[in-house]
Amino acid sequence: MSFAAVLGIALVIGTAVILGIALVSYMSSLARSAYELKVEMRKDLDDGIKRVEAEMIKQTKWARGDLMAEVERSRATMLEDLARRAEALRAALAAEALHREAAATAERAEISMTLTRIAERIGALEARTARLRLRDMTKEPEAAPAEPVALPPELPSFPEETANGSNGATTTSAVR
């Protein structure tokens, strides 16, 4: 082989080796760039996640604060409503108690007046009975029966309790 052919083959082999080394160097540079890009993307992703987490924490705190404020407002409103209802109930109960007390006082006064009238009527009847007995004692006894004494018509009827049979229960009957 001639020198020119060996030189040509050496040049082709040298060029192939240089191109191979250049290609390997270029490929390693691409791999390094891809790795750096991957690392940079990971770092950007982590930074983004941290920003999102910080924003979420801030919004959570803000929402929690708003929720606590709303709960406090609701609690205050409910306590005011409860106090208002309790006061209204107390006022209604006090009015009802006063009304019932007034009704009971009026009823006691009416019963007292009725008992006084009954006592006066009883006294009048006892006096009349005593006069009639005195008159009957001074008179000679007759064979005719005595007239029944009629009560005045304004005397109210009052219930009278009587025993009912062997079971001990009582019934109410009106006496006039």
Q: For 122-152, how does the pLDDT look when each residue is reduced to its tens digit (9 = 90+)? A: 999 999 999 998 888 887 655 555 565 555 5
Q: What is the pTM of this model?
A: 0.39
Q: Is residue 174 predicted with pLDDT exceeding 60?
A: no
What is the domain range of residue 25?
9-138
Give mean pLDDT, residues 11-20.
Answer: 93
Closest CA to 128 of 148, 102, 109: 148
C-alpha radius of gyration, the chain, whole number = 60
Q: Six-digit token pair at 92?
A: 């209604």
Please indicate, yes or no, if residue 164 is contained in any of the structural domains: no
Please indicate, yes or no, if residue 149 is contained in any of the structural domains: no
Give mean pLDDT, residues 36-61.
Answer: 94
Please indicate, yes or no, if residue 172 is contained in any of the structural domains: no
Please indicate, yes or no, if residue 148 is contained in any of the structural domains: no
How far, in Å, are 128, 130, 174 from residue 149 at the CA level?
Answer: 10, 13, 18
pLDDT at 168: 46
pLDDT at 111: 96
Q: How many domains does the chain have?
A: 1
Please indicate, yes or no, if residue 144 is contained in any of the structural domains: no
Give mean pLDDT, residues 47-57.
Answer: 94
Q: Is residue 171 predicted with pLDDT exceeding 90?
A: no
Q: Is residue 164 predicted with pLDDT exceeding 70?
A: no
